[in-house]
Amino acid sequence: MTTQGPSADVSASQRRLRRPLDGASIRDMGPPSSEVKGRPTAVRPDARATYGSARSATDHRSVRPGRALRRRERTLHPGAWWVWALGLAVAAARTTNPLVLGLLIAAVCLVVALRRADTPWARAFRLYAVLGATIVALRTAFRIVFAGGGPTVLFTLPRLAMPESLGGVSCGGPVSAEALASGFYGGLQLATMVVCVGAANALANPKRLLAAVPGALEELGAVLTVAVSVFPQLAQSVERVNRARALRGGAGGRWRVVRQVLMPVLVDALDRSVELAAAMDARGYGRRAALTTVHRRVTTGILLTAVGALAVSAYALLDTSGTSAWVGGPLLASGAGLACVGLWAAGRRSVSSRYRPDPWGWLEWVAAASGIAAAAILARCAATDPVMMFPAPIPQAWPAVTGAVVLAGAIAALPGIAAPPPPLSTSRGAP
């Protein structure tokens, strides 16, 4: 599956050849489903065939003549995107410098803009961006309301002291530039992490990610997959019932309207889930290999020990007194090791196999490594140059960056070019 086109691909040609995302999403919206059964499709079948997934090695249509410049489409392993995004989130945790954080956000947004498909979860990236902006705004607003002191007072709000019973918190008072800046820095750090997680969500197909969970957890994965698909169905159900409500007429209060919609939707959802459970049962969900009692007990023992070790190590690592810190690291490592062994042993109970698992090629390594490298560089910077990474708030100090940080930002943005373009979804996604 690593039959990539010329990787020395410049972004200009990328831009030129990229399908217009917006056009695709308009075409993808389709009509509101009026006929429950009819399902008039807005997507022409031929269009779908043309944009057919390139995941299939046997799918010859995906090799298009006359588009030699265009790289072969495929989706990156969802795990690679998650490693990359979590690496950047860890990197963001290592700094409060707004310039560094801004650089990370820019890198993340660039990659998402270049490499997301037209799937419903990809469109949800905007929600994470909005959430991030809200966090920044809230953190800053809190600093204004619960005024933090500082030398550079910008303005003064009327003071309002809370009664002692509410903890004696005071509102208002002088608002300083330092307080505002530190509120903004803190908010931006959190927002960067949120955007990183949002990027992983936008770039990685959640269902493929769940399909890649270890054997012992695959049934949980199947349950989550189904849960993910339930939400669009619920939305569809609500829309349908709401329209049907108009057919019956009759006035009614707000509560009655809620009941008119909620009752049929909930009953419908219950019916569907029972039906689905029956279907999954009939198709072998939950089949188990026959294992000996000894094997089962040993597996349970290993897993319990692992959980215990992990819990104690977490306590030791978080213990601020420092007396037990030396056991934390080794205990964490052994707990994690035991957990892996336990999961492997438990996975042997499962008899299932995988159809076309997502390949992990060198491009996956590139994406994952770029996230880890960015995190490593910033961690190193934080250790050697704390003044730059944790600057005092404006106007005491103006944030600045070094070459190493710019390099980390560039590395973080690398998957935007290195990763293959995603195939346009063959699905219409959520109705």
Partner 1 sequence: MIRFTDVTIRYAGAHAPVVRDVTLHVGEGEFALVTGTTGCGKSTLLGAASGHVPHFTGGTVSGQVTVGGLDTRDHRPRDLAHIVGVVRQDPLAGFVADTVEGELAYGMERLGVPPRTMRTRVEETLDLLGIADLRHRTVHTLSGGQAQRAAIAAVLAAGARILILDEPTSALDPGSTEEVLAAVLRLVHDTGVTALVAEHRLERVLDYADRLVVVEAGRVRSGPPADLIAHAPLAPPVVELGRLEGWHPLPLSVRDARRAATRSGLPARLAATMPRQPAADAGSLPGADRDAHGEGLVARGIDVDYGPVRAVRGATFRLPAGRVTALMGRNGSGKSSLLWALAGARTPSAGTWSVNGVRLNGTGRAAMLAAVRLVPQEASDLLYLDTVEAECAEADTACRSTAGTCRRILDRMVPGIDPAMHPRDLSEGQRVALVLAIQTAANAPVLLLDEPTRGLDYVAKAALTAALTRLAAGGRAICVATHDVEFAAGVAERALVMAAGEVIAEGPAAEVLAGSTVFAPQVAKVVAPAQALTVAEVAAALRPRVASSDGAP
- Which residues make up the interface to partner 1 (CB under 8 A)? 29-32, 34-43, 45, 48-49, 52-53, 56, 58-59, 207, 222, 225-226, 229, 240-241, 243-251, 259-260, 262-264, 267, 272, 275-287, 351-356, 426-429, 431
Using the minimum distance from each CB to partner 1, give the nearer residue, 159 or 287. Answer: 287
CB of 389 to partner 1, least distance (A): 43
Whether the CA torsion 361, 341, 209, 108 is positive or negative: it is negative
| Residue 57 Cβ vs partner 1, minimum distance, rounded to whole Å | 10
Smallest gap from residue 308 Cβ to partner 1 (A): 32
Pick the closer one to partner 1 by CB: 9 or 28: 28
Q: How far is the CB of 75 from partner 1 (least distance, A)?
A: 13
Nearer to partner 1, 40 or 214 (CB): 40
Nearer to partner 1, 15 or 37 (CB): 37
Q: How far is the CB of 118 from partner 1 (least distance, A)?
A: 13
- Cα–Cα dist 321/150, whole Å: 31
| Residue closer to partner 1, measured from CB, 102 or 361 | 361
Of 266, 241, 236, 229, the closest CA to residue 33 belongs to 236
Nearer to partner 1, 14 or 427 (CB): 427
C-alpha 37/C-alpha 26 separation (Å) is 23
Q: Which is nearer to partner 1, 51 or 84 (CB)?
A: 51
- Smallest separation (angstroms) from partner 1 to the CB of 53: 5
Nearest to 1 by CA among 256, 377, 292, 356: 356
Tokens of 321: 């007194």
131 vs 224, beta carbon nearer partner 1: 224
Q: How far is the CB of 29 from partner 1 (least distance, A)?
A: 7
Min dist. Cβ of residue 296 to partner 1 (A): 19
Beta-carbon contacts of 296 under 8 Å, excluding residues fewer than 6 positions away, are: 349
State the nearest-atom distance from the C-beta of 215 to partner 1, in Å: 10
Q: How far is the CB of 88 from partner 1 (least distance, A)?
A: 28
Cβ proximity to partner 1, 51 vs 184, nearer residue: 51
Which residues are 161's β-sheet partners? 170
Dihedral-angle region of residue 250 (phi above 0 means left; psi in -120 to 50 means alpha; beta otherwise): left
In the bound state with partner 1, the residue whose beta carbon lies nearer, of 44 and 380, is: 44
Q: Looking at beta carbons only, is 29 or 113 nearer to partner 1? A: 29
Q: Shortest gap between Cβ of 306 and partner 1 (angstroms)?
A: 26
Cα 152 from Cα 178, distance rounded (Å): 7
